[in-house]
Amino acid sequence: MSTPWGRRLPGVRLGWLLAGWLAGAQGLAGAAPVFQVGEGGIGRALSDVSDEWVHRGEDDPAAVLAELEQAPPPTSGVPVLAWQRMRARTRGLVAARSDMEEDVRRALDTLASLAADGQVDARFRAELQGDQALIQAVLQDLLGHPAEAFLQGRLADQAYDQACGSRQPAPDCDYRAWWRALHLQAQRAETRGDLVEAQGLAERAHAVAERGMVPGLEAWSLAMQAVYQQALNHPDQARALIAQADRVVRQHGDVHSLVWVRFAEARLALESGDSKTALRLMHQSLRLAEPLNSPRMQARILPSLSDLLRRAGQPREALQAVEQAYPVLRRHHELRGQPTLLHNGGLARMQLGQVAQGRADMEAALKLWDATGARAAMRVALQEGSEALAALGDVRGALELLHREQALREEINADNQAAILAQMRATYRAESERRELDLLERENALRSSHLQTQTLIERIWVAAIVLLGLAAGVVGMLALRARDATRRLRHSEALLRVQSERDPLTGLANRRHFREVLATRGGAAFRGALLLVDVDHFKRINDEFGHPAGDAVLIEVARRLDGSVRAGDIVCRWGGEEFLIFAPDLQGEALDALALRVLRALGDEAIALDSGRLLPISASLGYAAFPLPAHQVALGWERAVNLVDMALYTAKSMGRDRAVGIQSVSAADAPALQSLEADFEAARLAGEVDLQVSPRRAY
C-alpha cells in the first residue's frame, strides 16, 4: 500500500498523505538563523528566521529549543511584541512536531498572555489566536488525530484570514503560518477522500504564498494541485500545474521544495501507469534530500520508495527502506506514519517468504490505524493484504481480510451518506425558514393594505352620508376615489401574489410555488421528470470574486436554464445555487438529451462578469422520470425529489460536471424502494439501481 501509492479511495490515493508532512519547512539546515530585514519588511524577515528554526528543529528539536531560549531580540527596528510572538510560535511548532508537551504548553501560554494584553490591536490578537490553533493542529496531526487537526487548522485559517485577508498584502503578516494552516487542512481533506475540498484549499494556499512572496511554497502548492487534479481525472490540468511548479522552483533555486515537486511528479507518473518513471523520480527526490542532512525528511520519502520497490519486484530493498525510516519516525513520535511503514514492511516480508512476521506487521499496522480512526487507510490496507495472501495461496486468510474490508467500506459509505444528508437537510431547512419569513412579511404588508383601504372606504361613505346635500359632482369625485383605491388594492394584491411565487434575484419560480405545483401532480402517485441542478464550487466563486459576482452567476444560470427547457417545463430556484426543473411527460432518450443540453448550456460558455473577466462554470445534475421503471412503484413528489437529490450527490462524487440519471430500480413495492433509498450508494454498487452517467465533455 504505502504512502503515497495505495489503492484509490473515493477519489484519492493514500500516498500523498505521508509526503505532505514536511511541506512548509522551507529553510536550510545549518547554523542559527540570522535576522536581516529585506524588501519584504519586518514581517517577512521574522517569518524567514522562524522557518529556518522550524526546519532545523525537525531533526534536532532539543538543540533548537535551547537556542530559542537564549536568542536575544534584534537590537533595533523590530517591535518587541512581534519578536516575542515569532519566538513563541516557533517554539510551539518545533515542540509540536516532536510531541514535546511541556514546551508546547509554554508556547501556548506565552501566546495567550500576549493576546490578553489590552495594548495589542485586534489584528495582532487574531494572529496570536491563529498561532495557537496552528500549533494545536500540528500536534494533533503528529499524533494521528486527523479530525481534530483539521478543526484546529480551520480555526487557524479563519484567524489569519481575519488578520491578513484584506485585498492588499500586509507587509507585517506572516503568510507562511497562514499557508501552513491551509496546507494542513488540504492534507486532512485528502485523508477523508474529499479531493474537491482539498483542491480548493491548495488553491487558496497558493494564493497566500503568492501574497507572501514565498516561491518555495508557491511551487509546493502547485504540485499539490497537480496531484489532486490528476485524481479528479483532469490530466491536462495536472501536467500544466506540475510544469508550472517545476519552473517556479528552478527559477528560485529552492532545493527543499524541489524535493517535493519531484515527489509529486513521481506520483503523477504512477497514476499514468509509468511505474519505471515513478521509481526513477522517487530515487531522484531522495537524492535531492540527502545534502539537506535531514533524516526525518528522508524518512518521509522512503515509505513511498519502499512501495515502488516492492511493486518492482525488489522486496529486500523495500524492506531496507522501511527499516531505515521506521526508527526515525518512532524517535519523533510520528504515530501517523508508523502504520504505513509496518504495512509496507509486512507486504515485503511476505514476498520474501516471511509470511508469519509479515502478517504480524500488517495486523500491528491495522491496530494503529484503528486507534487513530484512520478508517480509509485501514480499508486500503485490508484490500492489499487480501491480495497478498491470495497470491500466496492463503485463500482463507485472503477472504477474512476481504470481508473486513467490505464491512469497513460499508461503514464508511453509510457515515458519509448520513453526514451529507444531514448537511443538506440543514441547508434546506435554513433556506425554507428564510423564505417563509419573507412570505410572512409580505402577507403582513398585504393585510395592512387591506385595513387601510377598508378604513378609507368607510370614511368615504361617512363623508358621503354627511355631505349628501352637496353637489353631485363632489359625490361623484369621492366615488371615483374609492374605485381608484380599490383598483390599486387589487393591483397590489396581484403584484404581491406574483412576488410570493417568484425568486426576487433570478425571476424564476420559487420553492414555495414549485411545491404547490408538484403537490397537484397526482398526490401519492407523482408523474413526470425532475432534474436537480447544482452549480459546482459556487462557494469558491463567492469567496474569490464576491457575492455580487455570485449573484450575477445565478442570474445567468437561471437565464440559460430557462432557455434550455421546453415551453411547458417549469424551472425554479430550489435554494442557494440549486435549481429544480419539472418536465411533464418526458422520459427515455429525450430526458437524457435534456439533461445533457442543460449541462452544456451552463458549462460550454464562460460567464462575463461586470469586471470584464470571463468566469468558466460547470454544474452537476441528477434526474429521473417517475414512476421509476421497471416496477412503477408509486411515490409522492417529496420522495421523487429526494431520489434525484441522491443522483445529484452521485454526480458530485464522480467528479462533478456531469449528469447522473436514474434509469431503473429493482424495487417491486414501496418497502423495497424505501430500503433502496436508505442506502442509495450501496444499492448502486449492488446493481439495484441502473444509472445513466453523462459527462458534459470527455476528458
- Whether residues 477 and 522 fall in one domain: no
187 Cβ partners below 8 Å, 6+ apart? 16, 17, 20, 141, 198
How much is the CA Rg of the chain, to the nearest whole Å?
31
452 with 558, same domain: the answer is no
Quick one: 602 and 677 in the same domain?
Answer: yes
Model pLDDT, residue 490: 58
Cβ contact 15:308 at 8 Å: no
Sequence-distant contacts of 639-646: CB under 8 A, at least 24 apart: 639/677, 640/526, 640/530, 641/518, 641/530, 641/532, 641/580, 642/677, 643/677, 643/680, 644/530, 644/531, 644/532, 645/424, 645/532, 646/622, 646/677, 646/680
Q: What are the backbone angles phi and psi of residue 607, rounded to the nearest 5°? A: -95, 130
Smallest CA-to-CA distance from 527 within 626, 644, 624 is with 626
Q: Read off φ and ψ for residue 95, nearest 5 degrees.
A: -70, -40
Q: What does the pLDDT read at residue 15?
A: 36
- pLDDT, residue 670, reads 87
- 8: confidence class by pLDDT, cuts 50, 70, 90: very low
Torsion of the alpha carbons at 108, 298, 59 and 323, rounded to the nearest 10: 100
User: Is 492 a residue whose pLDDT tops 50?
Assistant: no
Pinpoint the alpha helices (H) of 71-194: 80-96, 101-116, 122-142, 146-164, 175-192
> For residue 622, which of 553, 689, 674 has the smallest C-alpha distance?
689
Q: Which three cell numbers stand for residue 621?
A: 445534475
The answer to whether 342 touches 361, Cβ cutoff 8 Å, is yes
Question: What mean pLDDT do residues 379-404 have?
Answer: 83
For 17, half-sphere exposure in the C-beta direction (CA atoms, 13 angstrom radius) is: 31
Q: Which of 171, 195, 213 is the last residue of a domain?
A: 213
Q: What is the mean pLDDT of residues 12-32?
A: 36
Q: Choose one of 157, 188, 213: the last residue of a domain.
A: 213
Residue with cell 390599486: 488
Under 8 Å between Cβ of 693 and 633: no
Per-residue pLDDT at 494 exceeds 50: no
Rounded to the nearest 5°, which phi and psi values hold at 573? -85, 110
Among residues 193, 115, 126, 200, the alpha carbon closest in space to that of 164 is found at: 126
**Are residues 534 and 680 both part of a single domain?**
yes
Quick check: 520 pLDDT over 80? no
Assess if residue 380 is contained within a domain: no
* pLDDT 10s digits, 624-633: 999 999 888 9
Sheet containing 689-695, strands listed edge to edge, beginning at the edge strand earlier in sequence: 570-575, 578-583, 528-535, 619-626, 658-665, 689-695
* Domain stops at, among 501, 526, 546: 501
Per the domain annotation, does 256 fall within a domain?
Answer: no
In a domain, 682, yes or no: yes
Nearest CA among 382, 378, 305 for reference residue 339: 378
Examine the domain organization and report whether 496 and 574 are in the same domain.
no
Same-domain status, 492 and 520: no
Per-residue confidence (pLDDT) for residue 488, from 0 to 100: 60
Give the confidence band of 294 by pLDDT, cuts at 50, 70, 90. confident
30: left (phi over 0), alpha (psi -120 to 50) or beta: left
Residue 212 binned pLDDT confidence (cut-offs 50, 70, 90) = confident
The Cα diameter of the chain in Å comes to 119
In a shared domain, residues 61 and 157: yes
Instruction: For residue range 231-258, list pLDDT tens digits in order.
Output: 888 888 988 998 998 898 888 877 888 8
Is there a domain that residue 244 lies in? Answer: no
491 within some domain: yes
Question: Is residue 575 domain-shared with residue 678, that is, in the same domain?
Answer: yes
Q: Which residues pair with 533 in a beta bridge?
A: 579, 621
- Shared domain for 593 and 682, answered yes or no, is yes
User: Are 443 and 526 in a shared domain?
Assistant: no
Q: What is the pLDDT of residues 634-693, one digit of tens each?
A: 898 999 999 999 999 999 989 999 999 999 999 998 889 988 888 898 899 889 999 999
Question: Is the separation of the CB atoms in 417 and 680 below 8 Å?
Answer: yes
Pair 253, 215: CB distance under 8 Å: no
How many domains does the chain contain in total? 3
Residue 348 lies in a domain: no
Q: Which residue has the cell 443540453?
A: 597
pLDDT digits (tens, 9 = 90+) for 467-478: 666 655 554 564
**Which H or E element spans position 690?**
strand 689-695
Residue 306 lies in a domain: no
Whether residue 39 is found in the same domain as residue 179: yes
What is the reported pLDDT for 163?
85
Whether 428 has a pLDDT exceeding 80, the answer reads no
CA 552 vs. chain centroid, Å, equals 23
pTM of the model: 0.54
Other Cβ atoms less than 10 A from the Cβ of 436: the count is: 12
Q: Which candidate, 560, 538, 561, places its Cα nearest to that of 551?
A: 538
Question: How many other β-carbons are positioned within 10 Å of the β-carbon of residue 524?
Answer: 10
- The domain spanning residue 654 has which CATH number? 3.30.70.270
Pairing of strands 619-626, 528-535: antiparallel
Rounded Cα distance, 169 and 131, in Å: 19
Is the confidence at residue 546, as pLDDT, over 80? yes
Q: Could you give the angle at the alpha carbon of 13 between the alpha carbons of 683 and 349, nearest 5°?
A: 110
Cα separation values, 157 from 21, 137, 669, Å: 18, 11, 50
More confident residue, 82 or 167: 82
Choose between 648 and 30: higher pLDDT: 648
Burial, 697: exposed, middle or buried (Cβ in 10 Å; 0-12, 13-18, 19+)? exposed
Q: Can you tell me the distance from the alpha carbon of 260 to that of 267, in angstroms, rounded to the nearest whole number?
A: 10
Asked if the structure places residue 684 within a domain, the reply is: yes
Residue 392 three-state SS? coil
Indicate whether 535 and 488 sit together in one domain: no
pLDDT confidence bin for 39, thresholds 50/70/90: very low
User: Which CATH number covers residue 51?
Assistant: 1.25.40
Q: Give the structural domain span for 477.
A: 429-501
pLDDT of residue 155: 92
Contact (Cβ atoms closer than 8 angstroms) between residue 613 and residue 519? no
C-alpha cell at position 395: 485463500
Q: Is the peptide bond before 630 cis (omega within 30 degrees of 0)?
A: yes
